[in-house]
Amino acid sequence: MKTIDELLTEGVAGKRVFVRADLNVPLDGGTITDDGRIRAVLPTVKALADAGAKVVVASHLGRPKGAPDPAFSLAPAAARMGELLGTDVAFATDTVGDSARSTVAGLADGQVAVIENLRFNAGETAKDDAERGAFADRLAELADVYVGDGFGAVHRKHASVFDLPARLPHAAGHLIATEVGVLKKLTEDVKRPYVVALGGSKVSDKLAVIDQLLGKADRLLIGGGMVFTFLKAKGYEVGASLLQDDQIPVVQEYIARAEKNGVELVLPVDVLTSTGFPDLKTKAPGNPNTVAADAIPADQLGLDIGPETRKLYASKLADAATVFWNGPMGVFEHPDYAEGTRAVAQALLDSPAFTVVGGGDSAAAVRLLGFDENAFGHISTGGGASLEYLEGKTLPGLAALED
């Protein structure tokens, strides 16, 4: 895989360089609530601009239906990128139309532009190869060189991720090179003990990665909404907690396989419960109760791991040499149910291990709870992409960057 360092050595001055970034940031109206993904691509954008390239940044945001939708405009992301770079960033109000063509044509060497949300064009996400390819052809007209740096999208077979690199000289940006290097540390010659903490809402989202980790990890810590399917699989009553009944047989098989393989599978010993889901807008008191993990009342639902489990999980992380964490331990957006996630994050900071936070809600929790991002070994920008890599899948966006 050619890297941006090699590209810069060859020279990019005067060339139009298309950077496929991941600017899929959370918005509250037109306000960005977490600019982490914009910051992550800045080293690549700045390096290209400083080398005299005409930088064309493209991304998706949200899930528009293949047509323009103001609620998913990249205009706020373009404005924020300009603030972070300390320079004007031009913005095209379409993807491959008159605005995009004129905006790119107007760039001087070293200037940066952002084009509108790629998913405003149905060709970006089309299942049909010809439709997707036709959109990639039009994007290719905007550039001389392609740089892939949107790690959060590399598991998608989309036009700007998979088809466009085949049409232009291409290289991996700084972010993708870093992400791949980190993931190799989790899959090749891993330093042990290797501990994985998995959370999030649905166990079905994590089954494939658990299947792989049962042959690679030394210890698995389970939390979040997904844990109640594990507790139910052990015969415990989980009350009104989130539960995927159809996954219980699979989870039972995984519990048995973990024991057979000598993988320590650690489940909560206590949980925080309530009679209803907390109000995440007003942050009104959630009235949490602490109960044993095998004694959740029928009218209550689990919303976080309990205080004894926090201590237990911290102890299970203390001796690790490598840690991968993906998924919060509870409803971290509400202060009454954030302490389990906070405890895991703090345990990672206290551990001498190489620590990787697997993007998505885990990365958002780190920022929301006020932790220093630089204190972790690595915070990924792609939760889904990280998981699929660990599952052993071929990621289309990485395959497309291979020479």
**Catalytic site residues?**
37, 202, 360, 384
CA distance 231 to 251: 10
CB burial of 298-318 (b: ≥16 within 10 Å; e: otherwise) equals eebbbbbbbeebbebbbebbe
Stretch (H or E) spanning 132: helix 129-140
Q: Do the bridges between strand 89-92 and strand 112-115 make them parallel or antiparallel, or are there none, so unpaired?
A: parallel
Query: Under a CB-based contact definition with an 8 Å cutoff, are residues 47 and 175 in contact?
Result: no
How large is the greatest C-alpha to C-alpha distance in the chain, in angstroms?
67
Bond prior to 193 in cis (omega within 30° of 0): yes
Q: Is 397 exposed, middle or buried (0-12, 13-18, 19+ CB in 10 A)?
A: buried
Name the phi and psi angles at 328, rounded to 5: -70, 160
DSSP type of residue 159: I
CA distance 148 to 128: 22
